[in-house]
C-alpha cells in the first residue's frame, strides 16, 4: 500500500524450508535442492532456479496461492506464539516485558473470568455516554475517543477521527497532529453509497447487526435505533473523501490553525473536543480530509443527540467485543466474519490473543523476539549491508545519464540525509508505567490504549524523531517513511535463509540486498521525488529529467508487455512500470554492493556455484510462487507488481548475469546489449 507519507509493504522474501522447529534452515541462503538442472539458465532462469520446488509444492487447501511470504509469515507466527506462551508460564519479574506480555495473553485467554464479569467493564463508559445532553458534552466525548492508532487511511470505526503524529509536509522541524477521517463500521464509504442490490443487502445485514449489538448492550427499541444509527453513518460516509484522494498527497496537505476549525468546520464545540482529546494547547494541525471534518462537525450540530448516543454505544461494544462475553464475540463474528469476510469458522481464541498482545505491547514482544532470534551481531551484519547499498546507490546516482546535474545534487543530498534502520529500535518503548493484570482482559486493553495514546500525543512536544519505529520487530515487513526520509526493515523480515548473518554473503545480497535496494529506490523515483532530503513536499525532478526517465523506461515496458503467462493474458507494462524499475534498481545496486562487500577478494564456490551465480540464484528464488488462475488474472488486471516469474527475469538486463551463467545469443532470455535496460 502506498500512503505517500508512509509507504508500507510486506516484502516477498526468500524462504526455502517448511518452518517447523524440526526442520533446519539452509545456512547458505540458496536452496540448491530446488534447482532444475535440466533447464538452461539462459532459457528460463526462473524455472532453472525453482523448477523442483514448483513441481513438488502444492497450494494448501483453502488458499489461492503459496509463496515465500506465506511461509515467512507462518514461521514468524509460530515463533511469536512460542515466545508469548513461554512468557505466560514464566516465573517472571513483576513489571518486566515478559510479565506484561505473558499476563496480557493469559487474561485474554481466560474466557471464564471475562464471562463472569459480563458487561460490567463498560459501565463507566456507558454512563458517560448517557450523560451526554448537548453539543458540548457530545463534542467532549468524541474528543475522548480520538484514536492515535490509525489503520490504513481511516481511523477505526469507534473513533470519529484519528490522529497520526508526524512531521509536517512542509515543516520538518516540528511534529504535528495529522487528522484522519473515521467513524464507519463498514470497510468503505462505497458500502454506504452504492445503490447496487448487493450493497443494499449488505447495509440491511449491517443494520440487523447494529440492532443485535444494541440489544446486548441493554438498549430498548433496538431495531428502530439501529436504523437511525445506520442513517447517521451514511451521512458520515457522504462526508468522507474517496480513497482515491490518498494517491495525491497534495490533497492531504491542508494546514489548519486551531482557530480554523471553528470557521471552516462549524457545529462541533471544538474547545470541548480538543480539551478532551488532549490537544488543548495544540495550535497547528494537518487535516487530511477537510470534507470529513467539516461534514462530521455539521452532523454534531444537526443530528439528534439520542441517535449519536446510540451510535456511540454500538461502537463502544464493537470495539471491545474481543474482551466481552461470548455472545458479544459471537455476534461480532457473525457479521464481520461470516457476512463481511466469508469466514465460516471463528478464529482460534489463541490467535486473537496473540494478535491482541502484539497490538498492545508490540515492542515488548519485539524485545522477546530479538533476544532469541535476532542477536546484536545479526543487526550489525544487516546494517553493514545497508551501508554498502547506500554507497552503491551514491555511485549509481552520480553516474546517471537521465538526471540533470542539479537534480543529481538534490538526489545525493537526499541520499546523504537518508536513514535506514534494521532489525529493531536502539531504544525500546518503556512500558514500566503500564499496569497489566493477569485477570483483567478488558482493563488491560483499555489501559494499553490509553498508554499508547498518551505516548503518541507526547511526541507533539518532542523534536522530530526519525528513529520512531513504525513497525514491530517481530512483524515481517518493511516501511518507507518518505516524511521523514527513512526506511525500516524489521528483524522479522531479516531471517534465514533470506538473510543469515552467519551465512553466504552472495545469497544475502541477492535476496535481502535486492529487496532492500528496491525499497530504497522508491525514495528517489516517481513515488519519492516529491519529498526532499528532510521529507518535505517539493518536486525536485525537472521536466527534462522526467522526460528522459520515461524514455529510458520504454524498453522495460516493452519487455513486460511481452510476458504472457497464458495465451490470452499478458502483463501490462505501463501498469507495472514503477515496480519493475525498482526491481531493476534493486538488482543493480545489490550487485554493486555485493562486490563492495568482497573488498576486491574472490568469493568462494559453494555446491559448485560461484558467488556470482548464487547472487542471481537467490534473487530468482525469492520470487517463487504458486497461485491459481483466478488470482493470477486478478494480479495482472490490478496489481502494480508483475508476477514473480517476470520479476525474476529482471536478470536478463544485467551484464554480470550473462557472464555468471555463460548466456549466449542462442538462449531464449538473451537480449542484445542495446535492448537491455539500465535506468539506474
> Does one domain contain both 215 and 145?
yes
CA separation, residue 375 to residues 43, 74, 202, 487 (Å): 41, 21, 49, 20
Tell me, yes or no, whether 23 lies in a domain: no
At 273-327, the pLDDT tens digits run 999 999 999 999 999 999 999 999 999 999 999 999 999 999 999 999 999 999 9
**Residue 503, φ and ψ in degrees, nearest 5:** -100, -155
Tell me, yes or no, whether 67 lies in a domain: no
Q: Whose CA is closest to 138, among 149, 128, 127?
A: 128
> Does one domain contain both 360 and 380?
no
Q: How many CB atoms lie within 10 A of CB 345?
A: 8
Q: Among 263, 289, 323, which residue terminates a domain?
A: 323
Tell me what the mean pLDDT of segment 572-597 comes to.
Answer: 98
At 657-666, the pLDDT tens digits run 999 999 999 9
CA separation, residue 435 to residues 94, 124, 253, 462 (Å): 10, 19, 38, 25
> Does one domain contain both 629 and 537?
yes
Tell which wins on pLDDT, 339 or 1. Answer: 339
Structurally, the chain folds into a number of domains equal to 3
Hey, what's the torsion of the CAs at 205, 209, 214, 217, to 10 degrees? 170
Q: How many CB atoms lie within 10 A of CB 405?
A: 6
> Does one domain contain both 448 and 487?
no
CATH number at residue 489: 3.40.390.10
Q: Among 459, 475, 504, which residue terminates a domain?
A: 459
> Does one domain contain both 45 and 184?
no
CA separation, residue 408 to residues 411, 528, 546, 677 (Å): 5, 14, 13, 20
Tell me, yes or no, whether 32 lies in a domain: no
Cα–Cα distance, 484 to 7 (Å, whole number): 11
Grid coordinates belonging to 591: 550487485
Residue 158 — very low, low, confident or very high, per pLDDT cuts 50/70/90? low
> Does one domain contain both 300 and 352?
no
Residue with the three cell numbers 556470482: 612
> Does one domain contain both 277 and 341?
no
Tell which wins on pLDDT, 248 or 385. Answer: 385
DSSP 601: P
> Does one domain contain both 556 and 665?
yes
> Does one domain contain both 627 and 547?
yes
Provide the percentage of residues in the chain whose pLDDT is more than 70.
94
Residue 1 — very low, low, confident or very high, per pLDDT cuts 50/70/90? very low
Tell me, yes or no, whether 72 lies in a domain: no
Residue-level pLDDT at 248: 84
At 8-54, the pLDDT tens digits run 322 222 222 222 222 233 435 789 999 999 999 999 999 999 999 99
Residue-level pLDDT at 361: 97
Distance between terminal CA atoms of the chain? 24
Residue 359 — very low, low, confident or very high, per pLDDT cuts 50/70/90? very high
Residue-level pLDDT at 62: 82
Tell me, yes or no, whether 385 lies in a domain: yes
> Does one domain contain both 400 and 540?
yes
- β-strand 284-287 against 255-257: which pairing, if any? antiparallel
Q: Which residues contact 503 (CB under 8 A, 6 or more apart)?
A: 27, 28, 29, 496, 497
Side-by-side strand order, sheet with 175-181 = 161-167, 175-181, 284-287, 255-257
At 161-183, the pLDDT tens digits run 999 999 999 999 999 999 999 99
User: Can you give the pTM of this predicted structure?
Assistant: 0.91
Tell me, yes or no, whether 502 lies in a domain: yes
b/e per residue 9-48 (b: at least 16 CB within 10 A): bbbbbbbbeebeeeeebbebbbbbebbeeebbbbebbbbb
Cα–Cα distance, 164 to 456 (Å, whole number): 8
Q: Whose CA is closest to 73, among 56, 88, 60?
A: 60
Provide the percentage of residues in the chain whose pLDDT is more than 90.
88
Cα–Cα distance, 469 to 490 (Å, whole number): 9
Q: Among 292, 323, 354, which residue terminates a domain?
A: 323
> Does one domain contain both 190 and 339?
no
Cα–Cα distance, 265 to 161 (Å, whole number): 14
> Does one domain contain both 113 and 130?
no
Is pLDDT above 90 for 474? Answer: yes
Cβ pair 606, 27 in contact under 8 A? no
Question: Domain range for residue 46?
Answer: 2-15+37-57+374-426+467-675
Residue-level pLDDT at 548: 95
Residue with the three cell numbers 512531521: 167
Is pLDDT above 90 for 7? Answer: no
DSSP 537: B
At 198-225, the pLDDT tens digits run 999 999 999 999 999 999 999 999 999 9
Tell me, yes or no, whether 30 lies in a domain: no
At 610-650, the pLDDT tens digits run 999 999 999 999 999 999 999 999 999 999 999 999 999 99
How distant is the alpha carbon of residue 543 from its chain centre?
32
Is pLDDT above 60 for 545? Answer: yes
CATH number at residue 135: 1.10.1380.10
Residue-level pLDDT at 149: 63
Grid coordinates belonging to 369: 523476539
At 501-529, the pLDDT tens digits run 999 999 999 999 999 999 999 999 999 99
At 38-95, the pLDDT tens digits run 999 999 999 999 999 999 999 998 889 999 989 989 999 999 999 999 999 999 999 9
Query: Mean pLDDT in the chain?
Result: 92
Tell me, yes or no, whether 194 lies in a domain: yes
Amino acid at each position: 500500500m502506498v500512503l505517500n507519507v508512509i509507504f508500507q509493504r510486506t516484502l516477498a522474501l526468500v524462504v526455502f524450508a517448511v518452518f517447523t522447529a524440526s526442520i533446519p534452515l539452509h545456512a547458505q541462503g540458496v536452496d540448491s535442492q530446488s534447482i532444475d538442472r535440466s533447464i538452461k539458465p539462459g532459457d528460463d532462469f526462473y524455472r532453472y532456479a525453482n523448477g523442483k520446488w514448483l513441481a513438488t509444492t502444492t497450494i494448501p487447501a483453502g488458499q489461492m496461492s503459496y509463496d515465500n511470504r506465506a511461509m515467512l509469515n507462518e514461521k514468524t507466527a509460530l515463533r511469536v506464539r512460542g515466545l508469548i506462551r513461554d512468557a505466560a508460564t514464566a516465573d517472571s519479574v513483576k513489571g518486566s516485558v515478559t510479565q506484561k506480555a505473558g499476563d496480557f495473553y493469559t487474561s485474554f485467554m481466560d474466557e471464564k473470568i471475562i464471562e463472569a464479569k459480563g458487561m460490567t467493564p463498560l459501565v463507566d463508559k456507558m454512563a458517560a455516554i448517557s450523560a451526554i445532553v448537548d453539543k458540548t458534552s457530545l463534542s467532549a466525548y468524541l474528543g475522548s475517543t480520538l484514536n492515535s492508532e490509525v489503520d490504513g487511511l481511516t481511523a477505526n470505526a469507534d473513533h470519529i477521527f484519528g490522529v497520526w503524529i508526524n512531521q509536517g509536509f512542509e515543516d520538518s522541524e516540528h511534529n504535528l497532529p495529522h487528522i484522519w477521517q473515521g467513524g464507519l463500521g463498514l470497510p468503505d464509504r462505497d458500502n454506504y453509497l452504492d445503490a447496487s442490490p448487493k450493497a443494499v443487502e449488505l447495509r440491511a445485514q449491517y443494520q440487523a447487526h447494529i440492532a443485535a449489538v444494541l440489544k446486548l448492550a441493554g438498549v430498548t427499541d433496538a431495531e428502530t435505533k439501529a436504523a437511525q444509527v445506520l442513517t447517521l453513518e451514511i451521512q458520515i460516509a457522504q462526508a468522507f473523501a474517496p480513497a482515491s484522494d490518498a494517491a495525491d498527497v497534495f490533497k492531504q496537505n491542508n494546514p489548519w490553525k486551531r482557530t480554523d476549525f471553528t470557521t471552516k468546520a462549524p457545529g462541533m464545540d471544538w474547545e470541548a473536543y480538543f480539551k478532551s482529546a488532549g490537544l488543548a494547547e495544540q495550535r497547528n494541525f494537518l487535516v487530511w480530509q477537510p470534507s470529513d471534518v467539516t461534514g462530521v462537525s455539521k452532523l454534531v450540530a444537526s443530528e439528534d443527540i439520542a441517535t449519536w448516543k446510540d451510535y456511540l454505544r454500538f461502537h463502544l461494544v464493537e470495539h471491545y467485543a474481543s474482551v466481552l462475553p461470548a455472545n458479544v464475540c459471537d455476534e461480532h463474528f457473525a457479521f464481520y466474519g461470516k457476512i463481511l469476510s466469508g469466514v465460516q469458522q471463528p478464529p482460534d481464541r489463541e490467535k486473537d490473543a496473540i494478535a491482541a498482545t502484539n497490538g498492545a505491547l508490540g515492542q515488548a514482544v519485539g524485545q522477546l523476539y530479538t533476544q532469541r532470534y535476532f542477536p546484536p551481531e545479526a543487526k550489525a551484519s544487516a546494517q553493514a549491508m545497508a551501508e554498502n547499498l547506500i554507497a552503491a546507490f551514491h555511485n549509481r546516482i552520480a553516474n546517471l545519464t537521465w538526471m540533470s546535474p542539479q537534480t543529481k545534487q538534490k538526489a545525493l543530498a537526499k541520499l546523504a540525509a537518508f536513514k535506514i534502520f534494521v532489525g529493531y529500535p536502539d531504544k525500546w518503548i518503556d512500558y514500566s508505567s503500564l499496569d497489566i493484570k493477569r485477570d483483567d482482559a478488558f482493563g488491560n486493553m483499555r489501559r494499553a490504549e490509553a498508554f499508547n495514546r498518551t505516548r503518541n500525543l507526547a511526541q507533539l512536544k518532542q523534536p522530530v524523531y526519525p528513529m520512531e519505529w513504525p513497525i514491530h520487530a517481530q512483524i515481517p515487513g518493511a516501511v518507507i517513511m518518505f516524511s521523514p526520509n527513512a526506511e525500516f526493515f524489521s528483524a522479522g523480515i531479516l531471517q534465514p535463509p533470506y538473510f543469515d548473518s552467519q551465512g553466504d554473503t552472495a545469497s544475502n545480497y541477492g535476496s535481502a540486498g535486492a529487496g532492500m535496494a528496491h525499497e530504497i529506490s522508491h525514495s528517489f523515483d516517481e513515488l519519492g521525488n516529491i519529498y526532499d532530503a528532510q521529507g518535505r513536499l517539493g518536486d525536485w525532478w525537472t521536466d527534462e529529467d522526467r522526460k528522459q526517465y520515461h524514455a529510458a523506461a520504454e524498453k522495460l515496458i516493452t519487455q513486460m508487455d511481452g510476458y504472457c503467462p497464458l495465451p490470452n493474458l499478458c502483463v501490462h507494462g505501463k501498469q507495472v512500470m514503477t515496480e519493475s524499475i525498482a526491481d531493476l534498481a534493486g538488482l543493480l545496486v545489490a550487485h554493486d554492493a555485493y562486490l563492495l562487500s568482497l573488498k576486491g577478494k574472490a568469493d568462494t564456490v559453494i555446491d559448485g556455484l560461484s558467488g556470482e551465480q548464487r547472487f542471481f540464484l537467490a534473487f530468482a528464488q525469492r520470487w517463487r510462487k504458486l497461485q491459481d488462475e483466478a488470482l493470477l488474472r486478478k494480479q495482472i488486471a490490478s496489481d502494480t507488481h508483475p508476477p514473480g516469474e517476470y520479476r525474476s527475469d529482471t536478470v536478463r538486463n544485467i551484464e554480470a548475469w550473462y557472464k555468471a551463467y555463460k548466456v549466449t545469443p542462442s538462449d531464449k532470455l538473451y537480449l542484445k546489449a542495446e535492448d537491455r535496460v539500465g535506468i539506474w
